[in-house]
Structure 1
Amino acid sequence: MKKAQLEIACFNLESAIIAENSGADRVELCANRTAGGTTPDLELTKIVRDKITIDLNVMIRPRGGNFVYSDSEVAQMKLEILAFKKLQVDGFVFGILNEDGSISEQQNKDLVALANPLPCTFHRAFDGVENKFQALESLIGCGFKTILTSGQETNVVDGIDVLAALVRKATDRIIIMPGGGLRSVNITALKQKTKAIFYHSSAIIDAGELANQLEIQALKANLESL
């Protein structure tokens, strides 16, 4: 089995630096934690890119709320991808759905093509799809490399059976990355059950927006102890 890796969702520069110094393998940079993450500021991203050497993925999400976007919102997402590519980031995180809860294939394909050759993660919009296994195949067809999901539950513990099934169905065609309530106290059980190779956490253990150094170290240690 491949060595499992850890991504930390960060909402500020300090968290990104803490993530790298604590052993994280990748940072997902976002703004607006209360909305579930939106596109970060371009200047902040430039600074983060300058300060950390581990992989840096950027959220492309024009607003909170649902994942059905207008033509103007999709146009904005395209411009953001082009702008962030110039900063030498390592990948993008986004997701677009249709009104009926299916994957908006053409819109997602267009963004994946624009991001190329950088890899794209389909974020937790996946947890709102009607047919998870059909959506899995659709996202593989769109060219995504990773799906971030809680297993369609409020957290990864409740979604553990679905996560395990998704990992089995995905085989080596796409990475299923458990995220949503992932903590050092449950990551061992998640790895044993799902056999996933990448895991996602904010490592925030209070009401603020700062990643906790000890929590990241514990997440990483528990991942590597199996």
Structure 2
Amino acid sequence: MLEVACFNVASAIVAAENHADRIELCEDQAAGGTTPSLDWLIQVKARVSIPVFVMIRPRGGDFVYTEAEFARMQEELQAFKQSADGFVFGILDSESKVDKSRTAELVRFVHPKPCTFHRAFDQTSDHYAALEDVITTGCKAILSSGGQPTALEGINVLGELVKKAGDRIVIIPGGSVRAANSARILQSTGAKVLHSSCCPSSTSSAITAELPDVAEVRGMVQSLQ
């Protein structure tokens, strides 16, 4: 399965048209993704038939949230609850551990919609303890680069996470995953799902760079077959 991170409506349409399996819809690519508008989700759902997961992240920066920010996340979930196919979020405590109680509260709130714990996971101090913590929250998947800037750099940790997770939770490698390295990541980690924005090269025009590279999407789909 290929999940494509899309930062606007047009990107989601391109990803779906080129056989991506799922969309992660978010805003503000420079910040690593934040909560998109409900209008975006409505537009995307009207144009694509594949599942659309929505990121719930009130701001860029760290993943330790105030009471007001947590309340905002709940409000955002309420707004998206009916239309989204699933959700992507992550909350840490002040010790860089998974905030199990808050995360579990959000998971229960949107049940039975599946939830992915995003790359806040990579900021935890102990990834293997964090794996067990996330499992207890009821999340169905973890998006991770193995605690490194890229999935290739974290490939060994990702492989261990996949083994330890077994069939209890899905580990999704993400972080500079491209068509050129996707087969290696899949083979080395045993993962079955990949996450990528499939962005064009840095030499592309600003307009083109806002959309997924068709060759990247198709190349990654092929590597997953």
Q: Output the TM-score relative to the length of structure 2.
A: 0.96
CA contact (8 A) 1:146 1:175 kept: yes
- For 2:26 and 2:124, the matched residues in 1 are separated by 22
Alignment of 1:51-90 (within 5 A): 51-87=47-83, 89-90=84-85
Identify the match of residue 93 of structure 2 among 92, 98, 106: 98
2:194 maps to: 199
* Total equivalences in the alignment: 219
CA deviation after TM superposition for structure 1 residue 156, in Å? 0.6
Equivalent position SS for 2:125:
coil
CA contact (8 A) 1:204 1:212 kept: yes
Is residue 8 of structure 1 aligned with residue 4 of structure 2?
Answer: yes
Equivalent position SS for 1:63:
coil
- For 1:212 and 1:18, the matched residues in 2 are separated by 9
Is residue 138 of structure 1 aligned with residue 133 of structure 2?
Answer: yes
User: Of the two structures, which has the highest relative contact order with CA contacts closer than 8 Å and spacing of 6 or more?
Assistant: 1
Equivalent position SS for 2:168:
coil
Is residue 185 of structure 1 aligned with residue 186 of structure 2?
Answer: no
Residue type of the alignment partner of 1:60:
I
Equivalent position SS for 1:185:
helix
CA deviation after TM superposition for structure 1 residue 206, in Å? 3.3
Residue type of the alignment partner of 1:190:
I
Identity of aligned residues (%): 46
Task: Name stretches of at least 5 consecutive residues in structure 2 with no aligned partner.
Answer: 203-208
1:40 maps to: 36
CA deviation after TM superposition for structure 1 residue 31, in Å? 0.1
- Cα root mean square deviation, aligned: 0.8
- For 1:189 and 1:223, the matched residues in 2 are separated by 11
- For 1:17 and 1:215, the matched residues in 2 are separated by 15
Please list the CA deviations of residues 102-147 of structure 1 after superposition, one character each: whole Å capped at 9, or x if unmatched: 0111110110011111000000000000011111001000000000
- For 1:103 and 1:20, the matched residues in 2 are separated by 32
CA contact (8 A) 2:192 2:224 kept: no
CA deviation after TM superposition for structure 1 residue 40, in Å? 0.2
Equivalent position SS for 1:53:
coil
Q: Output the TM-score relative to the length of structure 1.
A: 0.95
Task: Name stretches of at least 5 consecutive residues in structure 1 with no aligned partner.
Answer: none
Please list the CA deviations of residues 30-78 of structure 1 after superposition, one character each: whole Å capped at 9, or x if unmatched: 0000000000011111111111110100000000000000001000101
1:216 maps to: 217
- For 2:145 and 2:168, the matched residues in 1 are separated by 19
- For 1:86 and 1:158, the matched residues in 2 are separated by 38
Q: Which runs of 4+ in 1 moved over 4 A?
A: none
